Structure 1
């Protein structure tokens, strides 16, 4: 059993709260007795003596509560003083032996063992028995009556001392559980914060790859082509320079989106077909690759349109960099289950299982966020087929 000096906390056992309020109530009654002593017709000597003892007890109680480690007045010294004060008050005033009943919790909350609690509460019973008997004079019947009543209360004190250790164990267990729960909540909150930060980094990386990185790659390719054709095909080089300018402006717009100074999507409102058509026309203009497109005017929400555009941009960037294709077919279609975007090229193809690029994984994750999926079919020498599916659930 440990010394209980702190106020109980929410969630502590009922018995701990009972002892706490018993102790609080006892001091309220002691204060009331002091007031009655002051305003009543108590003899001066007896009244002053009892008030002095009550004041001394209250001051020492406050010191022990506020400074439990006080080397001068420790918990056990206070209990010894309590025993003497109970005996003195029983000697001075008739009926003040009831203070023993009121202070029973103190014989439990200021000790650190069951044995100490039983011993000190027993000394309290002896003190009020002796004090009351001395006040009434030497009389065997009085001594017997006082002893019986005192030891009846002492039995209650023993019961309190026996019940309290288990309540304290429960209190400590609950306090430990509360601490562990708080620690788990803090750890979970930190994990969620780190997860959110990681997801945001991944989203930014995907956006940079799908926009700025592809734009810079396009600028480099166009600049190389324009430089090599300055002397042989100046008109074509001028077109490529214009494409570089447009791509740079697009990259600047995308950069402003990423830093939060422009609308979040960076894609102007409109149909998916018009959005994709502009991208395909730019690709044909920059590369000379023939693009055949079947793009019906399908209306869809902004996230779906952005996902379709990013998948198209990534596919075209891969065709530009790796496929060496001469023709590209693009088909956009609404199906009962959603919207499909199919992109087929006649390039050199690749082994899908060996692909470790960021672009395909980025497309898969982007589509997965909308409940869609990406299917990639390719083999060396046979071109590549990209199929993106986004469910719409009947909503456009």
Structure 2
């Protein structure tokens, strides 16, 4: 119990340690009164020597609790002996037992020691005071009663102090565990945020740059194969390659933060999708039948619908072998619906684990929407994307 009180300890723990330190003021006062009184000179010198020696031991243990040659345990034995001798040498020194009670509790290294040493102090103070008075039975009885009363207080304090310190240590441990948990949660949130950002960037790159590069490759192969046959067609395809490359450059600047916003051109969602379909028709020559309602929606929703259209058309170009594509944009009671169909070879939906469809689902989920994919081998494919409309938040 020699450790100093810490923040969070009960108030009386601080009082106990303060009592141990401030008791020396009362000890000094009693010693000065004794030195000025009529006590014989030899006893005065003995009292002064004992008090000074005890004070030196106290300071040594307080300043060097772990390294001092005089341990706290040994100090308690010195304290018991000195208190007994002082009660024998001078009148009024019996009060030393009550004054130094805080020291008995503070320096004890266990509840047992905190009960035992004050008990020994009660014994020696009673015996010393009684011997000084000539061993009278009445004096001995009075000293015994008063010493037992003080010892009872010491027992209560000895029992309560370890429990209070244990509760303090438990609270400190809980605080430490809480701080550790908070740090772990912060790291988890940071890693989760980084993972979500990587996933977002991967989705953006797939839906923009990767699709653009795929279109450039297809157009370049077509232009090369038709260069000697249809120069005009090859020139159109080269122009499409140039335009796609410029769009990819704009999207790349957006992704690296060199542009203020998405490279999607301004306008209604119908106009945005119409430009995309015109490019698709020009590049592929497929028959595209579009019904695009003029729906007012905010910019993020417009971009999400555009990305879903781009991904679906890219899949048609790469996998469907279709001749006709249908695109319908309509507004329901509380949501905008985008339907894209083709008459291609189709596929088994359950066997599809591509990044594109999964990316569309996650993108739509961010808006509270959903994606429905219907397809079977030889029957074409139907993609239905829905996004709830926030009429109050439209641009």
Q: Give the TM-score, by structure 1 length.
A: 0.86
**Please, which of 12, 15, 21 is the counterpart of residue 21 of structure 1?**
15
Secondary structure of the equivalent of 2:101? coil
User: What is aligned with 2:351?
Assistant: 354
User: What is aligned with 1:252?
Assistant: 249
Shift of 1:327: 1.8
Post-superposition CA distance 1:216-243 (Å, at most 9, x none): 1111111111111222222222222222
**Please, which of 371, 374, 391 is the counterpart of residue 374 of structure 1?**
371
Residues 90 and 271 of structure 1: is their aligned pair in 2 closer, same or farther, counting only changes over 3 Å? farther
- 2:290 is equivalent to residue 293 of structure 1: yes
Post-superposition CA distance 1:176-230 (Å, at most 9, x none): 4333333333333322222222222211111111111111111111111111122
User: What is aligned with 1:120?
Assistant: 117
Segments of structure 2 that go 5 or more residues without pairing to the other structure are none
RMSD (Å) for aligned C-alpha atoms: 3.0
Are 2:87 and 2:128, in contact at CA under 8 Å, matched by a contact in 1?
yes
- 2:17 is equivalent to residue 30 of structure 1: no
Q: How does 1:136-147 map to 2 (within 5 A)?
A: 139-147=136-144
Structure 1 window deviating more from structure 2 (223-232 vs 367-376): it is 223-232
Secondary structure of the equivalent of 1:298? coil
**Please, which of 219, 222, 226 is the counterpart of residue 225 of structure 1?**
222
CA–CA distance in structure 2, aligned partners of residues 71 and 126 of structure 1 = 28
CA–CA distance in structure 2, aligned partners of residues 383 and 71 of structure 1 = 90
**Please, which of 273, 278, 282 is the counterpart of residue 275 of structure 2?**
278
Q: How does 1:179-328 map to 2 (within 5 A)?
A: 179-328=176-325
CA–CA distance in structure 2, aligned partners of residues 35 and 267 of structure 1 = 89
**Please, which of 34, 43, 48 is the counterpart of residue 36 of structure 2?**
43
Structure 1 window deviating more from structure 2 (273-282 vs 143-152): it is 143-152
User: What is aligned with 2:149?
Assistant: 152
Segments of structure 1 that go 5 or more residues without pairing to the other structure are none
Post-superposition CA distance 1:118-166 (Å, at most 9, x none): 2211122234334545666665443432232122101211222233444
Q: How does 1:336-351 map to 2 (within 5 A)?
A: 336-351=333-348
Secondary structure of the equivalent of 1:386? strand
Are 1:323 and 1:383, in contact at CA under 8 Å, matched by a contact in 2?
yes
Are 1:23 and 1:103, in contact at CA under 8 Å, matched by a contact in 2?
no
Length, aligned pairs only: 389
User: What is aligned with 1:329?
Assistant: 326
Shift of 1:340: 0.7
Secondary structure of the equivalent of 1:350? coil
